[in-house]
Amino acid sequence: MGDKLAIWPVEERSSGILLETLESCAAARNVVTRRFDKIITHVADHLSFVRAGLKDVFTITCISDKDITAAGRYYKALAEGKSADVLLEILAEAPIFEHYHQASDSHDKIEERSVEMVADVIWDTVMKMGGI
């Protein structure tokens, strides 16, 4: 769900052919990308690849403006040393975490336009990097 792409965990100064190509392909389609340097949850799709020894891995997630606002508040509260309860309250404000990696995370929560946006950006990235 969402009309923007979160790329995480990726620092602002990070570089790499895959990351830069994905961001340029998204920009060419007027898809806003936002890098996040920390994992908000302890589960993420890229972690198994990191554990297997791959170094240049990241997750892309569809997000909304509300998610970005909540993430900003979360990172600020984290830096201020706020309690876990406060952090969880902030996360509860982000639509993405209402169902993220939970039993309620089912197919009916998928927005077709979001899937199409991600598929288009990934396709363009693969083709720009030399095809399959």
Is-contact 94 67, C-beta < 8 A?
A: yes
Which sign, positive or negative, has the C-alpha torsion 36, 39, 44, 48?
positive
Q: How many domains does the chain have?
A: 1
Is residue 36 within 8 A of residue 128, CB to CB? The reply is no
Report the amino acid identity of residue 107: H
> What are the start-end ranges of the E strands in 1-93?
4-8, 33-35, 59-63
CA distance to 4, 20, 36, per residue, from 111 (Å) = 13, 26, 22
Range of the domain at 58: 4-128
DSSP letter string, 73-87: HHHHHHHTT--HHHH
pTM of the model: 0.81
Tokens 């340029």 locate to 24
Q: Give the C-alpha separation, 1 to 61, whole Å.
A: 9
Per-residue pLDDT of the chain (132 residues; tens, 9 = 90+): 899 999 988 888 988 899 999 999 999 999 999 998 876 665 567 778 878 888 778 889 899 999 999 989 998 999 999 998 999 899 888 888 787 777 888 888 888 999 999 999 999 999 999 865
